[in-house]
Amino acid sequence: MEINWTKEVEARKEALLEDLFTILKVDSVRDDAKATPEMPVGPGPKEALEAFLQIGERDGFITKNVGNLAGHIEYGAGEELMGVFGHVDVVPTGTGWDTDPFEPVIKDNRVYARGSSDDKGPSMAAYYAIKIIRDLGLPVSKRVRMIIGTDEESGWQCMDHYLQHEELPDFGFSPDADFPIINGEKGNQSLYVRFRNDVAGGKNQLISFDAGLRENMVPQDATVIFTSSEADKIQTALEAFLATHPVKATLST
Ligand SMILES: [Zn+2]
């Protein structure tokens, strides 16, 4: 049997977008201030997980919520288990949006919303791939699990919890953010810097330094508060820095 995959996907485009919009509309930023044992990373991630599992249930798949931290949608039969790992939590929205980050809009053939590319969009696409295989009645030699996490961006509680309570897949892949494949991450580091607060022999003193919203996000802006007896020198140094770096900064007293 020859399958026109493009046609199969096209036929489901509207349905996929509708399901994707449903989960994009959930503000699923981790919120520890509202966390409870029932909502270990706050209400948003739990709500997004439930919405995704509900889509699987609606379509007739076996679904399971694992402690409101993770869950899966399963298809197929067999000894072996293949895992498809996605996540529905998102990083904070930050500033600079033209539209509401939780009201998805399509502009120039792109979906704009927090999580559209990391990782609600790819997760929904992977789910629809499983659904197409099921709809077409194609033979599968193993079980396939769409495993949905809710704490990928912050602390990985979701996968820690999932792997404590559920079967570890024999192999799998993670459709996260980019297409077609990211086959390795060279590593990442979180650094904590501490230093003596008497720069330039006590002429300058750092009061505070704030940048970024999360450790795994590129900071959009930074604010530093300091006292100094050399404001003119700092203004000159800042201007020299700005002349050779593509950033904006202002010094105010
Ligand atoms: Zn991701």
22 C-alpha to ligand 1 centroid (Å): 18
Ion ligand 1, residues whose Cβ is below 5 A away: 118-119, 176
CA pair distance 240, 195, nearest whole angstrom: 25
88 C-alpha to ligand 1 centroid (Å): 8
119 C-alpha to ligand 1 centroid (Å): 5
Q: What string of pLDDT tens digits covers the 253 residues of the chain?
A: 799 999 999 999 999 999 999 999 999 999 999 999 999 999 999 999 999 999 999 999 999 999 999 999 999 999 999 999 999 999 999 888 999 999 999 999 999 999 999 999 999 999 999 999 999 999 999 999 999 999 998 888 999 999 999 999 999 999 988 777 777 778 878 888 887 776 667 788 888 899 988 888 888 889 999 888 888 899 999 999 999 999 999 999 8
Domain ranges for the chain: 5-173, 199-244
Predicted local confidence at residue 206, as pLDDT: 85
Asked whether the beta carbons of 137 and 32 are under 8 A apart, the reply is: no
CA pair distance 161, 158, nearest whole angstrom: 5
85 C-alpha to ligand 1 centroid (Å): 10
Predicted local confidence at residue 249, as pLDDT: 95
118 C-alpha to ligand 1 centroid (Å): 5
> What CATH number does the domain located at 5-173 have?
3.40.630.10
Predicted local confidence at residue 143, as pLDDT: 97
13 C-alpha to ligand 1 centroid (Å): 23
Predicted local confidence at residue 200, as pLDDT: 63
b/e map of 176-198 (b: 16 or more CB within 10 Å)? Answer: beeeeeeeeeeeeeeeeeeeeee
148 C-alpha to ligand 1 centroid (Å): 11
Q: Which of 50, 118, 152, 153 is catalytic?
A: 152
Predicted local confidence at residue 70, as pLDDT: 97
Helix (H) or strand (E) holding 5: helix 5-11
Q: Which of 89, 118, 119, 153 is catalytic?
A: 89
Q: Look up 176 and say whether it is catalytic.
A: no
Predicted local confidence at residue 97, as pLDDT: 94
Q: CA-CA-CA-CA torsion for 101, 104, 105, 109, nearest 10 degrees?
A: 110
Q: Look up 27 and say whether it is catalytic.
A: no
